[in-house]
Structure 1
Amino acid sequence: MPPLSTALPLPPHIQPAERVVLFDGVCKLCNGWAQFLIRHDHERRFRLCSVQSAEGQAILRWFGLPTEHFDTMAYVEGAELFVRSTALLRILAQLPAPWRLLAGLRLIPRPLRDWAYDRIALNRYRLFGRYDSCLLPSADHARRFLHD
């Protein structure tokens, strides 16, 4: 009898050990975050995916998250999902210094971190603006984005 696999099933479009950052593609703050990751993720640990893309929508559905109205960044490591401040801090911890030092904010209790995160997330369009449609990655950045 073949051994049973103990690995968790993976969300659609995600490979084992792949790290994917889901972000709101029309939000100017979120697009700035994606550009920040492209600029500072020298080891190319992260793939990016807009929640409005077909791939993003499939991943959201996989985890039972809303697909029409999404107020948080999501971060997927293989089969695990992280949201809100936990997602942000897990990503920062994998970036080079000085950015990884910000991951020390995880010492703040999660309810307090998430409260602060939510204040920004829920007001991001008013504070930072929005695009009429998702911006397409430039040709040199396209390989950083998750797509079929």
Structure 2
Amino acid sequence: MIELPKNKKIILFDGVCNLCNQTVLRVIKLDKKDKFRFTSLQSETGKAIINHLGIDTSKVDSIILYEPNQAYYIKSSAALKIIGNFGGIWEVSKFLLFFPPLIRDFVYDIIAKNRYKWFGKKDQCMIPTPDLLSKFLD
């Protein structure tokens, strides 16, 4: 396994998805306490984490939240756990975790399945600007 920051939560995202890339930029903006680092699912680091966790990417192909040496979350659970870290009004999202994952993931899966059609797709993964480079693992 590669060396990961021990005090950061890792967000794995679809690097060619326009919606995912815009969401990553929004998370960076809202992450005032600098809790997160990012890597694409397509990167070597992303693939190593996925293999380490034993995740089947044919079933999860858009977002994973990994808290090293603790837990990982997928789909709607990952999204809600990320949002809940922003503090303030965003903490209200934690209440959505009380809904069964089957219901939450149904909505999530509809968006994930149509994300390229609705929001577009890039030819290659996003390349972070120099001022954002420190937020990415590779």
TM-score for the superposition, normalised by structure 1: 0.84
Aligned to 1:5: none
**Percent of residue pairs identical:** 34
Deviations 1:118-147 (A, max 9, x none): 111111101111011111000000000113
Q: Structure 1 stretches (4+) deviating beyond 6 angstroms? A: none
Map residues 61-140 of structure 1 onto 2, 5 A cutoff: 61-66=51-56, 70-79=60-69, 80-140=71-131
Q: Which has the larger radius of gyration?
A: 1
Structure 2 match to 1:55: 45
Relative to 1, partners in 2 of residues 1:121 and 1:13: Cα closer, same or farther, differing over 3 Å? Answer: farther
Letter of the structure 2 residue corresponding to residue 15 of structure 1: P
Instruction: Tell whether 2:32 aligns with 1:39.
Output: no
Q: C-alpha separation between the residues in 2 aligned to 1:84 and 1:68?
A: 13
Residue 67 of structure 1 and its aligned partner are, at CA, apart by 5.5
2:2 paired residue number? 12
> 109-118 or 61-70: which moved more?
61-70
Q: For structure 1, which segment, 103-112 or 54-63, has the greater mean C-alpha deviation from structure 2 after superposition? A: 103-112
C-alpha contact 1:71 1:122 (8 A) present in aligned 2: no
1:146 aligns with 2:98: no
Query: Which blocks of at least 5 consecutive residues in structure 2 are unaligned?
Result: none
Tell me the distance in 1 between the aligned counterparts of 2:82 and 2:68. 14
Give aligned pairs, total.
137
Counterpart contact for 2:14–2:20, Cα < 8 Å: yes
Distance 1:138 1:31, change over 3 A: same
The residue matched to 1:127 in structure 2 has which SS?
A: helix
CA contact (8 A) 2:60 2:74 kept: no
How far apart are 1:103 and its partner, in Å? Answer: 2.5
Supply the RMSD in Å over aligned alpha carbons. Answer: 1.8
Deviates more, 1:130-139 or 1:16-25: 16-25
Distance 2:127 2:72 in 1: 25
What is the DSSP-based 3-state SS (H/G/I as helix, E as strand, rest coil) of the residue aligned with 1:35?
helix
